[in-house]
Amino acid sequence: MSGAAPGTPGPGGSASAGRTPTAGGTSPGAPGATGANTAAGRPGAILPQDGTVHSGLTTCGKTPTGDPDPKRLPPTGSTAIVLPMPGQPAFPDAPMCGFAVGFSNVNKLNGAMIVNDPHAHPVMAEVNGGRRKVLDFTNEYVEVDSVLDLTLPPSKATFLTYGFMPTTASVEFVPKGLMTVVQSGDTFFDQPILTTIGGYQEIRVHDVRINGTPLDVGPNCRTATPVDVELKGREDDYLPGGDGKPDYDIVNGGPLIDENLVVPPFTGCRSHGEDLDALFTASLSGPGNTLNLSQGRLCDPVNVPETTCQPEIQIPQLPQRRH
């Protein structure tokens, strides 16, 4: 997600709008839709000829308001200039929006579930770009900070619990405040541009079935503490000897990954008086999980709607699963 308007310099003065969108880590053989198609023009509608998913949307929704989380901001050096300076008004809102879809790989269950399924009415992320900027030319450092609001729809997960028991459940991600977007690096200084998107999401589980039999877990089966999500993307295709991986481009999107998503223990899981917290903790909680997303191009409805929002806001293909 981006805090820099398309067609204008991002962190490091990289004007990305004129670039050809990158593959973003998507796979030509990414999974297609299953089941009935939705009506054309609605989010999640499918073009029968090639499987492309159409959003039918050409503008953003509600612009998030708030400041980046200070705990997620890098320390600033003594020679840095932080904008806006104390006593100055906040920067004008810079609304942008886009879709990010992908998979969450669950380490203990050796399986994955689709997150924000592009074939089932995916939800857009809403961005307010450039809320804070850090300029430190002495140390060749440029940073742009933004905020992001994303409330994901529930995901339907199917796993073999303990390796043999078919289990299905609805998994819901409940945001606990805005996410903070930190972009750093500068093409002028021959640096890669690094993006980190961090925030907290509570995981709630419901509509559980074990071997087809419903298991009542109550309305409040959730992680005892929120999950700390930290997605990372990198752009370095303009540098000699880049990392060779698909780039996350500030405007055009690409792959974002959290390589070690730690799921906390569960609480509130009850079935007719029986405490099921230990069951879900043993099955799901712990480190080594990953979140792999592919972000489409951002829509900038204020500055360049004709090239970033039209004919419609892009829904990317699902990325390849990564374990």
| DSSP code per residue over 88-141 | SPPPPP-EEEE-EEEEEEETTTTEEEEES-TTS----EEEEEEEEEEEETTTTE
Greater model confidence, 305 or 245: 305
Query: Above 90 in pLDDT, residue 108?
Result: no
Distances (CA, A) of 176 to 179, 229, 279: 9, 11, 25
Angle 173-300-179 from CA coordinates, rounded to 5°: 30
Chain CA centroid to CA 139, Å? 30
Taking residues 293-313, what's their average pLDDT? 95
Rounded CA-CA distance 188/13 in Å is 7
Q: pLDDT value at position 228?
A: 97
Q: What is the pLDDT of residues 7-36, one digit of tens each?
A: 333 333 333 333 322 233 333 333 333 322
Q: pLDDT value at position 286?
A: 94
Rounded CA-CA distance 99/296 in Å is 6
Q: pLDDT value at position 70?
A: 97
Which residue in the block uniquely carries the two structure tokens 């969450």? 104
Q: pLDDT value at position 320?
A: 61
Q: pLDDT value at position 52?
A: 78
Range from 113-117, 140-144, 272-276, 293-297 carrying the lowest mean pLDDT: 272-276
Which pLDDT band, with edges at 50, 70 and 90, does 243 fall under? confident
Taking residues 281-298, what's their average pLDDT? 93
Q: 203 with 227: CB under 8 angstroms? A: yes
Taking residues 81-103, what's their average pLDDT? 96
Q: What is the pLDDT of residues 121-157, one digit of tens each?
A: 899 999 999 999 999 999 999 999 999 999 988 888 8
Rounded CA-CA distance 290/100 in Å is 15
Q: pLDDT value at position 271?
A: 82
Q: 65 with 175: CB under 8 angstroms? A: no
Which pLDDT band, with edges at 50, 70 and 90, does 319 fall under? confident
Backbone angles phi and psi of 311, in degrees to 5? -70, -15
Q: pLDDT value at position 8?
A: 34
Q: What is the pLDDT of residues 53-75, one digit of tens each?
A: 899 999 999 999 999 999 999 99
pTM above 0.85, yes or no: no
Query: Above 80 in pLDDT, residue 48?
Result: no
Residues across the chain: 323
Q: What is the pLDDT of residues 157-188, one digit of tens each?
A: 877 665 557 888 899 999 999 999 999 998 88
Q: Among candidates 91, 202, 184, which has minimal Cα distance to 134?
A: 184
- Find residue 103's DSSP bridge partners: 114, 292
Q: What is the pLDDT of residues 181-240, one digit of tens each?
A: 999 998 889 999 999 999 999 999 999 988 888 989 999 999 999 999 999 999 998 888
* Sequence spans of domains, the chain: 45-308
